[in-house]
Amino acid sequence: MADFILVHGAMHGAWCWDLVRKELQGLGHRSVAMDLPISRPEARITDYADAVVRAAEGIADERALVVGHSLSGVVIPHVALRRPVGALIYLCSLVAPVTAADHAANLALFNPALLAHRRVDEWGRVSYPDEAAIDFLFQDVAPPLQQWALSNLRPQVLHPNPDLLPRMPDVPTYAIIATEDRIVAGAERHRELIRARLGIEPLELAGGHSPFLARPAALASMLHAIAAQNLY
């Protein structure tokens, strides 16, 4: 049995892991998910990491695996510098920057077509019209789940200046990319970022940016396999 700490990405919440958590439970694992303060203009990435650590206070296992989706690839290394973890798993994600050049590489990963649909409110919070959210986030998700996901999305504050990591944590690290992810400017660009920043070859899942909704069993199976590598 493994403990998973599941960290959602931009505009999402703990709800997005519901299907995967059921699959993980069926495989004998425990998990925790939380809502990050993504809509609070004053909250920084370091505040997100603090929210993760607070939510995981009941997990004493120092081998817990932390999964960060999308934007939370920037969050989870901060978590590993705050509490012991067994591994970091980057899911369809950015990688936390240590330098300004790393931050620029993250920004360059985004699909320009996505950015053309961005809406920004008076508090600097980003959202997308439903049609664009479906096209870029949920294109391979079943329509009823698409509508449920849309109803749960929250506006996301994006800060122009990143919270740079002092160093990358020295823990086992994995990355999973989606081969038809429309958020990024191509799967090969994503592979290159993972190789350059993490020094590993990413695992791959078919489909788009939201495998926790489109392929929860396949994602849970991959997480189960990673857990087995770290527990035995």
Whether residue 161 is predicted with pLDDT greater than 80 in this model: the reply is: no
- Tell me the C-alpha to C-alpha distance, in Å, between residue 151 and each of 36, 103, 138, 148, 154: 17, 30, 13, 5, 9
Band of pLDDT at residue 231, cut at 50, 70 and 90: low
Question: Average per-residue pLDDT in the chain?
Answer: 95
- What pLDDT, on the 0 to 100 scale, is given for residue 215? 98
- What pLDDT, on the 0 to 100 scale, is given for residue 133? 97
pTM of the model: 0.96
- Helix spans in the chain (H): 18-26, 45-55, 76-80, 100-109, 112-115, 130-137, 143-152, 187-198, 211-214, 216-231
- What pLDDT, on the 0 to 100 scale, is given for residue 61? 78
- What pLDDT, on the 0 to 100 scale, is given for residue 232? 53
Band of pLDDT at residue 211, cut at 50, 70 and 90: very high
Q: What is the pLDDT of residues 50-86, one digit of tens each?
A: 999 999 998 877 889 999 999 999 999 999 999 999 9
Q: What is the pLDDT of residues 185-195, one digit of tens each?
A: 999 999 999 99
Instruction: Give me the CATH topology for the region 3-231.
Output: Rossmann fold (3.40.50)
Task: Give the residue extent of every domain in the chain.
Answer: 3-231
- What pLDDT, on the 0 to 100 scale, is given for residue 28? 96
